[in-house]
Structure 1
Amino acid sequence: MKQLNRWIAMGLLMLGVVFVVWGCAPYQKEEESPRTQAFESGEAEGAGKKGPKIGVSIYRYDDEFMRLYRLELKQYLEETYQAEVVMRNAGGDQEEQNRQMEQFIAEGCDGIIINPVEVQAAGRLADSASQAGIPLVFINREPGEEEQSRWKERKMAVSSVGTDSRQAGTYQGELLLEAPKKGDLNEDGTVSYAMLMGEEGNEDSRYRTEYSIKALEAGGMETEELFSGSGQWDQEKGEKLAKTALDTYGSRLEVIISNNDAMANGALKAAEEAGRIPGKDILLVGIDGLRDTVEYIKEGKMTGTVLNDHEGQARTASDILIKMLGGEEVDTAYLVDYIKITGISTFQNLEGEE
């Protein structure tokens, strides 16, 4: 009997231990995600909120303008929407960007932002995102109107944020019209220029080239193209093209118009090495508003540039994507205005707005 009582006591003791251990264990819902836990715990309402996972693919990291753009994009998404940003470099390879799109989908990204390597690939990229039910925003390189119409007709959660390159080109022409002698430095009645273009076949390059000259001619100036070439948006290539133009045409060359600031900075170096005095016996204009270029404007070496507002574009793209994630309808395209920068006072005004 004593032995039986001893076994009963031991059994009760063990049962008590089990209840104590079970009672101290944390309760977990088996199918609850970390994000759901964050919302239920109230973290989603505060600084610790975990926002959406956003995949971003940039056509090339070595493009200075896109470097500024992607840094602003990442910072704004993280600080404003507590997003987890997955940033990828396509390295100028469309096939690589296609793979990155598939990776974003496989990794469960909530939204995607693409700076396309080739605008012609926009349709395929849009279809991939749409089939996966993931909102997509194209940036910097805007797909054509036909493609945008397709998004609208099929009610696809796809949009684009960019600029009107015709406006940028027009502003370049106006910068020259505001310059000494309206660019006709030798006063022979004609503005003789070299044109440093971006990528061949690129819409931005085509419009910036075309409308800069249209603006000059609309302002009453005769124009003469002495030289043109594609510098692929690259500073070193722009410098080589400018050197060729300077060596070939010498003092006849009055103006170098570049489709972007990187090439304009290269042209400045070539002009100085050729013994020219930029800002006095040759005028240079660019587009983007890069910091180095603005410094050259302050020094009087560069006539002007047109600010390609990376900050405004990055924030607009982020806001549009978040709206789509919330189920809101958005337009298929949004445009952010360029801003002319012609001197120190203009730049100081810009700084004051930041």
Structure 2
Amino acid sequence: MPLVGVTIYKFDDNFMSFVRRAIETNAEDKAKLILNDSQNDQAKQNEQVEMMISKGVDSLAINLVDPQAASTIIEKAKNEDIPLVFFNKEPSKEDMTSYDKCWFVGTDTPAAAIIQGEVIVKSWKEHPEWDKNGDGVIQYVMLKGEPGHPDAEARTTYSIKTVEENGIETEELEIQTGMWDTVKAKDIVDAWYAKHGDAIEFVICNNDAMALGAIASLKAEGYFTGDKIMPIVGVDAIPDAIVQIEEGTMVGSVLNDATNQGYAAVDLAANVALGKDPIDGTNWNLDDTKAVRVPYVAITKENIQVAKDCYGK
């Protein structure tokens, strides 16, 4: 079996923990892994890549800490003629075309935000009572992911753009980065609620981990009991969020298919390590950017089983 060197930007990232589990599961009969936690430190990740190259890996599968550091990783791999699969965090087009043995596994970045926006539109129209002041405008707060991260920037922009393109006016009361983190998000929403109180009509989160922090904050203010509702949406449809959607605490999320991202990363890395075509013997398709795009799916209470099935693989 080929030896594949893997780095993950941060093991304790909620979403990436499920990607890692899928990588380990799919690799059992396909590849031997050297698996590294980069601990959200790009310098550490660069050292890990050098270490794995020195151990004679046949390919690399890299979840970047900082997408802008892709060129450094590519140079290291290129110098040793080692094929390279980036996953989840996408390098620039310029970086991707700089090395012929370089591929990407992930998603169509703006799609999650567009789908999240559609979930907001549908639920807002179905629940006129959520418009507390009756002005026809969604007064929202936004928990943003890591600044500069392509997913965070796209989700922040396209979610609201989609809502407005569907004829619903919005007013941003607050926006702040929660760095994808539940605890940080709770602290931020605590402060926002102290300032705005019930003037907040919607909490929009770039990921589910931050949505869970918002829920914890608002539960302490008496929400989610009786008729006191605060609509919250996230992205990822991780198991903890699936529970909240099923219970009616979260309006919905967008399934960011951790299982299939992990499976595809291993499939491509194992194939290219053996000198095969990246998608040989798989059901994946490469687009013209040398990428496998795992599709997003809107998740609400109506189709919750779709998300559950994803984690049953």
Q: How far apart are the structure 2 equivalents of 1:280 and 1:150? A: 54
Q: How far apart are the structure 1 equivalents of 2:13 and 2:126? A: 31
Q: Which amino acid aligns with 2:219?
A: E
Larger radius of gyration: 1
Deviation of the 1:86 alpha carbon? 1.1
Aligned to 2:295: 337
Distance change (3 Å), C-alpha of 1:97 and 1:349: closer
Indicate conservation of the 8 Å contact 1:254/1:281, yes or no. no
Query: What is the SS of the residue equivalent to 2:110?
Result: helix
Q: Which amino acid aligns with 1:172?
A: Q
Displacement over 6 Å in runs of 4+? none
Aligned to 1:64: 14
Deviation of the 1:280 alpha carbon? 5.1
Aligned to 1:111: 59
Aligned to 2:82: 134
Aligned to 2:3: 53
Aligned to 1:10: none
Q: Deviations over 1:137-166 (max 9, x none)?
A: 111100011212222xxxx31111111221
What is the aligned counterpart of 1:78 among 12, 25, 28? 28
Query: What is the SS of the residue equivalent to 1:134?
Result: coil
Q: Which moved more, 1:244-253 or 1:190-199?
A: 244-253
Indicate conservation of the 8 Å contact 2:242/2:308, yes or no. no
Query: What is the SS of the residue equivalent to 1:178?
Result: helix
Aligned length: 297
Deviation of the 1:133 alpha carbon? 1.7
Q: Which amino acid aligns with 1:124?
A: T
Q: Which amino acid aligns with 2:48?
A: Q
Query: What is the SS of the residue equivalent to 1:179?
Result: helix
Q: How far apart are the structure 2 equivalents of 1:206 and 1:351? A: 28
Aligned to 1:167: 111
Q: How far apart are the structure 2 equivalents of 1:249 and 1:182? A: 24
What is the aligned counterpart of 2:37 among 89, 99, 108? 89
Deviation of the 1:182 alpha carbon? 5.6
Deviation of the 1:349 alpha carbon? 3.9
Deviation of the 1:77 alpha carbon? 1.2
Deviation of the 1:129 alpha carbon? 0.9
**TM-score (norm. length: structure 2):** 0.90
Aligned to 1:158: 102
Indicate conservation of the 8 Å contact 2:222/2:228, yes or no. no
Aligned to 1:24: none
Q: Which amino acid aligns with 1:185?
A: D
Q: Deviations over 1:20-54 (max 9, x none)?
A: xxxxxxxxxxxxxxxxxxxxxxxxxxxxxxx1111
Identity of aligned residues (%): 36
Deviation of the 1:126 alpha carbon? 0.9
Residue 125 of structure 2 corresponds to residue 177 of structure 1: no
Aligned to 1:295: 243
Q: How far apart are the structure 2 equivalents of 1:180 and 1:213? A: 13
Aligned to 1:48: none
Q: Which amino acid aligns with 1:339?
A: V
Indicate conservation of the 8 Å contact 2:186/2:210, yes or no. yes
Runs (5+) with no aligned partner, structure 2:
279-285
Query: What is the SS of the residue equivalent to 1:302?
Result: coil
Distance change (3 Å), C-alpha of 1:339 and 1:280: farther
Aligned to 1:237: 184
Q: Which amino acid aligns with 2:8?
A: I
Residue 289 of structure 2 corresponds to residue 324 of structure 1: no
Query: What is the SS of the residue equivalent to 1:56?
Result: strand
Aligned to 2:281: none
Residue 217 of structure 2 corresponds to residue 270 of structure 1: yes
Q: How far apart are the structure 2 equivalents of 1:67 and 1:271? A: 26
Query: What is the SS of the residue equivalent to 1:292?
Result: helix
Q: How far apart are the structure 1 equivalents of 2:198 and 2:41? A: 40
Query: Looking at both structures, which has the greater relative contact order when contacts are Cα pairs under 8 Å and sequence separation is at least 6?
Result: 2
Deviation of the 1:275 alpha carbon? 2.2
Query: What is the SS of the residue equivalent to 1:196?
Result: strand
Indicate conservation of the 8 Å contact 1:169/1:212, yes or no. yes
Indicate conservation of the 8 Å contact 1:185/1:281, yes or no. no
Runs (5+) with no aligned partner, structure 1:
1-50
Q: Which amino acid aligns with 1:170?
A: I
Residue 192 of structure 2 corresponds to residue 252 of structure 1: no
Q: How far apart are the structure 1 equivalents of 2:270 and 2:3? A: 11
